[in-house]
Amino acid sequence: MLFDKHQEDIINRMLDGEATPEEAAMLGTILAAPADRALWEAMQDVDRLLRTAPTASPPPGFTARVMAQIYAGAPVQAKAASTPNGMTLAGRLALVALAGVGVLLLVRLAVGQLIGPLPSLEELSMTVSYIVNGFIDVIEWLFDYVGRYPALPAIGLASIPLAFAVTWLVVYYTPKEPFRRAAHLLIP
């Protein structure tokens, strides 16, 4: 009941009517087991059913309804002229940059109000060295902890595929449309 990729391709081509005589001859070998032959017959039934399926037609007045919406809306945008909301891409980027500068200025003002003038280079380097030393302390503590609990690295490693699976599920089941719309606002 398990077919390899090559066998799957042959079965697909047989159903599509595109198999060579050599491939058709190979089918007997591929479908040697009775269960495989039964599956093949059911696949042919599905194929016949789908090939005779009718094509559905839209209800009367469909085109008129869509065209009415088109006439009621904005005209189609000329190439590279503007984004769906009417502002050019350059305009949008400039707006984002301007907003960024504004936020930075506000942060600078707020920090200035709270802690006075900015620190000197010497003070900055001392702060950086405190942070680095703190980081090294944490690493040392982790090594010490792992030494006491040997199963910890294995649990850590096992959690990686779990994290991937959870992330994949979240991404798969998240509706993509709002993100696409948001992206279209910035990149036409």
Partner 1 sequence: MSENVIQERDEIHARDRAWVQCILAGDPSVFAELMAAYQQAVYNLAYRMLGERTEAEDAAQEAFLRAYRYLDRYDQDRPFKTWLLSITSNYCIDRLRRRRLTWLSIDEPLPPHPALASDAPLPEASAIDGERDAAIQELLSELSPDYRAVVVLRYWYDCSYTEIAEVTGTTESAVKSRLFRARRALAERIKARPAGHLVPAPVPVMEG
C-beta closer to partner 1: residue 28 or 58: 58
Token pair of 169, please? Answer: 């599920």
Q: Which residues of 128-166 are buried (b: 16+ CB within 10 A; e: fewer)?
A: eeeeeeeeeeeeeeeeeeeeeeeeeeeeeeeeeeeeeee
Chosen residue from 24, 25, 33, 45 binding partner 1 by CB under 8 A = 45
d(CA 146, CA 151): 8
Q: Is 148 in the site for partner 1 (CB under 8 A)?
A: no
- Helices within the chain (DSSP H only): 5-16, 21-30, 34-51, 62-72, 89-115, 121-148, 152-173, 177-186
d(CA 166, CA 171): 9
Chosen residue from 4, 22, 32, 48 binding partner 1 by CB under 8 A = 48
d(CA 19, CA 12): 8
Residues 82-101 that bind partner 1 (CB under 8 A): 84
Residues comprising the chain, all counted: 188
Chosen residue from 4, 21, 32, 51 binding partner 1 by CB under 8 A = 51
Q: Is 72 in the site for partner 1 (CB under 8 A)?
A: no
Q: Is 58 in the site for partner 1 (CB under 8 A)?
A: yes
> At its nearest, how many Å lie between partner 1 and the CB of residue 33?
14
> At its nearest, how many Å lie between partner 1 and the CB of residue 181?
11
Stretch touching partner 1 by CB under 8 A, among 68-76, 98-106, 140-148, 152-160: 68-76
Contact residues toward partner 1 (CB under 8 A) are 3, 5, 8-9, 11-12, 15, 38-39, 42-43, 45-59, 62-63, 65-67, 69-71, 73, 75-80, 84, 172-173, 175-177, 184, 188
